Structures are given as structure tokens and as C-alpha cells.
């Protein structure tokens, strides 16, 4: 059951491909810190690979045929791509599904205030975070502000070298006696995650002079007025680019690798596949970190509706065909797994843990307290995948998320599984998961991309 470290198996040409993939991946991460930014980049890459906007084909009732490549974006935060295969759609799709939302701090709707001549922004954290990790870091503001007339202002402040950063302060160690005695879950409390953005008062103002100066600046530089925060979606994220990690450059450190590491590799695999037997599909969704809810999460009917549109344009839509298409599909729920951390061996069970360098991770189940809430994949499906990965030379390992009863987690896997299709969690192992800076192994990223391509091409 011991697996070789994939690094020891590479020849020169593997290393060239591995490096190229990881360079492009880092670029994607550095330019994709929100769902919208990831969707925008995905559309650009898809268009370059010959994909067309499905909405235009729906509008013009253009029929779909074998070999056609289409994408559809929903509310700028979710994207799904299809390449029509040689087999009828009713035979099922091969689907890669990942999420492009990541833990962060969202601005509240009424965020801006002044306290003791400092301007601050109030936040509400998004997803599961250890709040104490998010203080004393350079942070950037990304997002969109929608004016009453519908015009949108795109924001990205704090990424370029000459742009200012913002951030959350922490108490100096000298006065932290009481704070240091607190439980880690309350050392920094949610309501105290306030982002410091300014300290310079407007001349001649008596009350809230720093806030007024800040409002002047927002108006001048970005055309934003205070009331515009009511219809804004601004995410406070770690500032800075993805970069190589480790003296041997064998790893990547970046914000947002859960789950953009699987989203990016799924997208690359999707765009690399040509003329598949079964129709290929790649769906990158929003809102996984808060339960896959909302119009852009996996629970949304967006995905099912889009498969219905694909069937309609292929001249084969009715409710029964739609249900059969979904039930006959195979899906890899491309999501991250916890990497074994030698600093914290106690939370892992060594035989069933994911390790850096051992390739793609299959998680038969996730969940907590007796697998509760997990999609427990079928061995028949796992057997198919084992065969494909072995035949295509893809390094893979199997794991579960920590020791029994230590904790747990979930993914989108159980949602498409409710159509009756075979789904399994399959992705990259991550260190520091949900921390501002997460770490992955470059060889795992390379193996996962290969594995996703092999799945789209050979799973039947």
C-alpha cells in the first residue's frame, strides 16, 4: 500500500511541464482573489481555447453538435463549461466540479466608521477561519460596488507595489497578559475584525474629520459614496502574490488555494481535452465555504438548468432525458484535502492521510462523527478510477480528513450525488488550510491535472 513520492519518478520533460503548469497557476492565483476575478480569468482562458458563450447560442437558438465547446457564466460568480462528446448526452457527462470562493473577511453593508481619529471598516468573516490568523497582515480590498443606476465599479487596492495596503491590528505583547490566557477561539473575536484604513483628518472639520477625509478620497479616486457600500461586495484578502515555497521551490504558497488549486487544474484539464467520447463538463462554483447556498452555489438550479439548455440545443430535451443525463454522469468533486503536517501528527491517522508528493487525493468520504454529512463514494466507481489512474500513470493516494472524531468537513460532492450520479472527492492536499497563506506541493498539482484529464478522457 506504500506509494512512491512522485518527484522521484519524473524525467526532464515532466519537470518542464510541471514548472509551466505551476507558473500559470501562480499567475491565476495572483490575479484571482475573488469569485468574480476567477470567473473573468476562466472566461478569457476558455475563449482562447475556442469556447463560445452558451447564452448567445441560446438567444440565437444555434444547435449544438459533437465537438462544440461552450461556457456559461452565472451572476459573474459561477461558470460551467461543456465540450459535446461523441456519445449521446443521455449516456451521461464526465464532470469536474470545484469551488472558487475562499475564506476571507467581507465588508458589512454599513462598514465605515471613525474611532479616536482612525477610520475603520467593519467586517463579517466568510467561511471557517481561525480569526487570530487574520491580524497584523498586509491586506487588500477586492470587489465590486454597484451604483443605483446599475453601473459597477471594480475595486482592487493593495496588490501593486506602489499601492497602499490595509489591515487589522493586534494588541502588543506587553499588554497581552489577559488576552494570552483566553481560548484561541476568542483571542480575536469576530466583531473585532475591523480593518484600519486611515488616520488623517480633514482640515477644518470638528467631528469625524478622518472619516470625512476618507469619504472625500473614496469619491475622488473611486467615485464611491458612503451609501454605495449598501450595494457592494468587497472582500478583504491577504495582499500579495502567489510564490514558490521552500528552498527547493517544490511548493506553492498563496492565499485562496482552497479550492482554486482544484478549480484551476480542473479548468486546465477541461481546456486540454479534445474530442472526448462522453461530453466533458467543468463547473466552478461559489459559496462552498458557507454551505453551497444561494443562486451561485452548487445547491442552485443553475447547473441543472444549464444541462437542460444543452439538451435543448442538442434537440433532445425533455424532463426524463435531463434526469437520465444527470443520473448517468460521473463526477470528480475537485476539492482539497488536509495534508499530513509533521508538526501536528496527533490529529492524523498515518495509513489514511494525504502526503505532499504522493499525488492526487481520493477522499471516499468526508463528514464528521461517523461520516455524517458526507458523500460516501461507491467502490465500483473508485475501482474505475484506480484503473484509469494506473493506466495513465497518475500518482494517487487515498485519505480521510483526520482521525475519527477529531473534527471533519464537507464539500459539494453530496449535492450532485443527489441526482443519483457517482461522485467522489478528488483533489490536492493542502497545508495551512483556510489560513491566509496556504501551501501545496507542485508535484501534486501536476498529478491532479493529469488525473483530471485522464478522467474526462477515459471514464465510461
Residues near Zn ion (CB under 5 A): 258
Smaller CB separation from Zn ion, 35 or 258: 258
Smaller CB separation from Zn ion, 99 or 450: 99
Distances (CA, A) of 255 to 152, 335, 408, 455: 25, 16, 22, 28
Minimum gap (Å) between residue 265 Cβ and Zn ion: 16
Smaller CB separation from Zn ion, 325 or 334: 334
Smaller CB separation from Zn ion, 411 or 457: 411
Smaller CB separation from Zn ion, 68 or 258: 258
Ranked by CB distance to Zn ion, the top (closest) residue is 258
Minimum gap (Å) between residue 350 Cβ and Zn ion: 23
**Which position has the grid cell 520533460?**
13
Minimum gap (Å) between residue 293 Cβ and Zn ion: 15
Minimum gap (Å) between residue 258 Cβ and Zn ion: 4
Q: Is the peptide bond before 259 cis (omega within 30 degrees of 0)?
A: yes
Smaller CB separation from Zn ion, 108 or 434: 434
Minimum gap (Å) between residue 425 Cβ and Zn ion: 12
**Which position has the grid cell 510541471?**
18
Smaller CB separation from Zn ion, 438 or 447: 438
* Dihedrals phi, psi of 321, to nearest 5 degrees: -65, -40
Minimum gap (Å) between residue 140 Cβ and Zn ion: 20
Minimum gap (Å) between residue 336 Cβ and Zn ion: 7
Amino acid at each position: 500500500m506504500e506509494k512512491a513520492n512522485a518527484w522521484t519518478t519524473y524525467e526532464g520533460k515532466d519537470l518542464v511541464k510541471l514548472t509551466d503548469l505551476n507558473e500559470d497557476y501562480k499567475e491565476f492565483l495572483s490575479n484571482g482573489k475573488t469569485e468574480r476575478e476567477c470567473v473573468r480569468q476562466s472566461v478569457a482562458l476558455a475563449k482562447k481555447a475556442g469556447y463560445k458563450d452558451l447564452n448567445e447560442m441560446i438567444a440565437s437558438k444555434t444547435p449544438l453538435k459533437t465537438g462544440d465547446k461552450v461556457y456559461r457564466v452565472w451572476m459573474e460568480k459561477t461558470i460551467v463549461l461543456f465540450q459535446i462528446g461523441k456519445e449521446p448526452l443521455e449516456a451521461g457527462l464526465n464532470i469536474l466540479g470545484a469551488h472558487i470562493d475562499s475564506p476571507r473577511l467581507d465588508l458589512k453593508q454599513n462598514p465605515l466608521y471613525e474611532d479616536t481619529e482612525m477610520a475603520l471598516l467593519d467586517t463579517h468573516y466568510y467561511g471557517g477561519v481561525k480569526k487570530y490568523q487574520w491580524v497584523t497582515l498586509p491586506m487588500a480590498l477586492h470587489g465590486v460596488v454597484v451604483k443605483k443606476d446599475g453601473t459597477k465599479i471594480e475595486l482592487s487596492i493593495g496588490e501593486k507595489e506602489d499601492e497602499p495596503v490595509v489591515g487589522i491590528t493586534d494588541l502588543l505583547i506587553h499588554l497581552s497578559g489577559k488576552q494570552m490566557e483566553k481560548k484561541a477561539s476568542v483571542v480575536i473575536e469576530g466583531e473585532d475584525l475591523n480593518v484600519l484604513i486611515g488616520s488623517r483628518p480633514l482640515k477644518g472639520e470638528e467631528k469625524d474629520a478622518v472619516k470625512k477625509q476618507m469619504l472625500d478620497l473614496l469619491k475622488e479616486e473611486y467615485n464611491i459614496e458612503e451609501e454605495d457600500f449598501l450595494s457592494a461586495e468587497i472582500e478583504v484578502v491577504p495582499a500579495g502574490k502567489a510564490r514558490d515555497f521552500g528552498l527547493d521551490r517544490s511548493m506553492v504558497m498563496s492565499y485562496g488555494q482552497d479550492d482554486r488549486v482544484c478549480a484551476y487544474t480542473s479548468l486546465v484539464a477541461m481546456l486540454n481535452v479534445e474530442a472526448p467520447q462522453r461530453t466533458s463538463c467543468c463547473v466552478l462554483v461559489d459559496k462552498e465555504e458557507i454551505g453551497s447556498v444561494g443562486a451561485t452555489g452548487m445547491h442552485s438550479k443553475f447547473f441543472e438548468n444549464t444541462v437542460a439548455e444543452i439538451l435543448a440545443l442538442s434537440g433532445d430535451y425533455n424532463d426524463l432525458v435531463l434526469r437520465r443525463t444527470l443520473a448517468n454522469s460521473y463526477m470528480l468533486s475537485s476539492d482539497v484535502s488536509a495534508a499530513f503536517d509533521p508538526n501536528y501528527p496527533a490529529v492524523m491517522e498515518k495509513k489514511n492521510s494525504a502526503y505532499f508528493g504522493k499525488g492526487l487525493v481520493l477522499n471516499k468520504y468526508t463528514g464528521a462523527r461517523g461520516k455524517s454529512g458526507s458523500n460516501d463514494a461507491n467502490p465500483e466507481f473508485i475501482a474505475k478510477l484506480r484503473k484509469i489512474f494506473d493506466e495513465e500513470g497518475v500518482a494517487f493516494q487515498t485519505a480521510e480528513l483526520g482521525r475519527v472524531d477529531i473534527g471533519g468537513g464537507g464539500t459539494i460532492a453530496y449535492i450532485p450525488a443527489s441526482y443519483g450520479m457517482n461522485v467522489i472527492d478528488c483533489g490536492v492536499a493542502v497545508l495551512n488550510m483556510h489560513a491566509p497563506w496556504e501551501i501545496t506541493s507542485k508535484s501534486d498539482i501536476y498529478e491532479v491535472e493529469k488525473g483530471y484529464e485522464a478522467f474526462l478522457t477515459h471514464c465510461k
